Each structure stands twice: as C-alpha cells, then as structure tokens.
Amino acid sequence: MREQGDVSHQLKRSVEDYILNFEVRYLEYKEVLNLLPKDIQKRPVMRQLLRDVGKAEKAIRGLLPTLQDKHWKGAVQYAEKLRAYSQRLSDYITDRDTLSLIERFMKGETLLATRVVLQWGRKLFHAGMGTLAFWIYKGSGLDFIPCMIFFSFFVWPAVFLEIYRRYNPRFNRWTCSRFRHIIREREVNSVCSATYYMASVYVVLWVFPEPVASLTFLFIAFGDPAASIVGTLWGRTRFSKHVSLEGMLGCFAVCAFVSLIATPLLMPNFQGSILLFSILGGIIGSLAEISFPKWDDNLVMPLVAAPLLWILLRFFT
C-alpha cells in the first residue's frame, strides 16, 4: 500500500509539473499574440487563433483541480478538450507558409484563411454555385446542349485563369487580394477549389444521367459545406488532420435529407423505400467527401458520388 501511495504521489507530481510547464508555454504564446499589431489581430484567422488559445488555457486551468480532487471523469473531459484545442493550434501552424505571419504582413502580402478557420463567405459561395447550377440544369428550361454551352463559359475561363496566374505572379496577387474572402492560403500557389468544383461538376453533367447529376449537384452544394462547418466547430474524433467523425456525420445528415426531399421530385418513376434510399444516399455522400483526404474534396466528391449514385438508382427505378 505504501509503494502504491508513493507511485500515486509521484504520478501526481509529474502531471502537475507537466501541466505547469504546458500552462507557461500557452501563456507565453498568448502574450506574443497579444503583442501583434492591431491590424493583424483583427483578421479572422488571428481572432480564431486567439479564441482557441483562450479555450486551451481554460481547459488547462480546469484539468489540475479535477486531478487533485480525483474527479477522473472530469479530468478526462478536460484532457479531451485540451487535446482538441492543441490539435487545432497545431493544424493552424502547419498550414502556414514558411514565412511567418509578421514577415508576410510587413511585405504587404495578403493573409488568407486556412482550413481550421471558417470562411462563411466561402460556404455561401459554395452553396450558391451548386444551387445556381442545379437551377440552370433543372429549372431554366434549357435543353442539354445549350445548358452545357452555358456552363462552358464558366469552366474554360476558370481553367485559363488558373494557368495564367501560375505564370503571372502580379495577377496572382491581385486575384488573391480581390477574392480573399473565399480563397484559402493553400490556394495561393495551387488550383482553387472553385475551379475543381466547376470542372468536376462539368464532367458529371456530360457522363451521367440527369437524376444522378442533379443529386450530385445538391450533395456538393450542401453536404460538403456541412461537413466543413460541423468538423471545424465540433470535430473531436479525427481520422486525419482535416477529417473528423462529426464532420462526416454532418455530411451524412445533409445528404440523406437532400435525397429524401429531392428524389421524388427528380424521379417520378422511383420505386422502393425512399427512406432506405435516403440513408444509402447519405452514406454515399459522406464516404465520397472523405474518400481521398489528400485531394481537394471539391474535385473528389462529385466524381466519387456520381457513379455510386448511378449504381444505387438502378435498384430503385
């Protein structure tokens, strides 16, 4: 019993020392952030970072008393919160370019958001693009060929602009500055997600029948933003840096709901259980969204979801 008490005491001391050192590092980090110029602190990415540091500090302060009082359940909860906030801060740091935030600001470069910061303008733009494409395809009254010609006026100029800004740094900086509310940091020197979005939807339109293409429109318009929003705000159980169970469930719920509402309208000859189809549609949407985590989901999700939906529909029509 005495040996167990000694071990317990040593473990407690080591945990206390670890938390104390951890807390000191967080306080130093927070102090450095608060010393940044006000112009930088007001940026959305910095406001989010400061909030996350504050939440991590609160989790640290709550962890030690629960250990001292032997409230193990509460300690586990605080530890989980601390782990999640630490992961968010780590994701933020690793997503930045090699230049520091201060260096880039002093050089006059545009500072853009990363995946750990929600861009509501980007989400609205994403949903708006999909909704507009769906309306043009289904509600405008255009035949297939005129519809595809109309989409071509968006897709091919976007591809040309992507190529042009690769070879013209000045134009690239101008583009990133003008569209900073919907462009992420990683897209400064790579293809924008919007271009992948338009290109993948364009391919789906050419290859797959109308009901499949229409459902795919709605999946990418609403399911993908739902995964991003839920995963960013509440994601705790992570499969990889940018894929969480919570985000996956958010995508599943939205895609299943979209399937439940839209399928009877898109397919009058639908046969079978609409509820079963909706559940399977939600599974397809959520799996398509996370299928290739290292690739852009705006490219992957339509190209994976469309063939799976096409196969599924063959059993219900």
- Domain residue spans of the chain: 2-106, 120-313
Give the SS3 label for residue 243.
Answer: strand
In whole angstroms, give the CA distance from residue 204 to residue 212. 8
Within 8 A by CB and 6+ apart from 230, the residues are: 246, 247, 249, 250, 251
**pLDDT, tens digit (0-9, with 9 covering 90-100), for 49-66:** 677 767 766 766 666 666
Q: What's the pLDDT tens digit per position in 218-254?
A: 998 898 888 888 888 887 787 776 778 888 999 999 9
DSSP lists the bridge partners of residue 113 as 184
Sign of CA dihedral 91, 97, 100, 104: negative
Higher-confidence residue of 242 and 39: namely 242
Report the pLDDT value the prediction gives residue 310, as an integer from 0 to 100.
94
Q: How far apart are CA 298 and CA 306, in angstroms?
A: 13
Per-residue pLDDT band for 119 (boundaries 50, 70, 90) equals low
Is 266 a residue whose pLDDT tops 90?
Answer: no
- Whole-structure pTM over 0.75, yes or no? no
Kindly tell me if the per-residue pLDDT of 114 is higher than 70: no
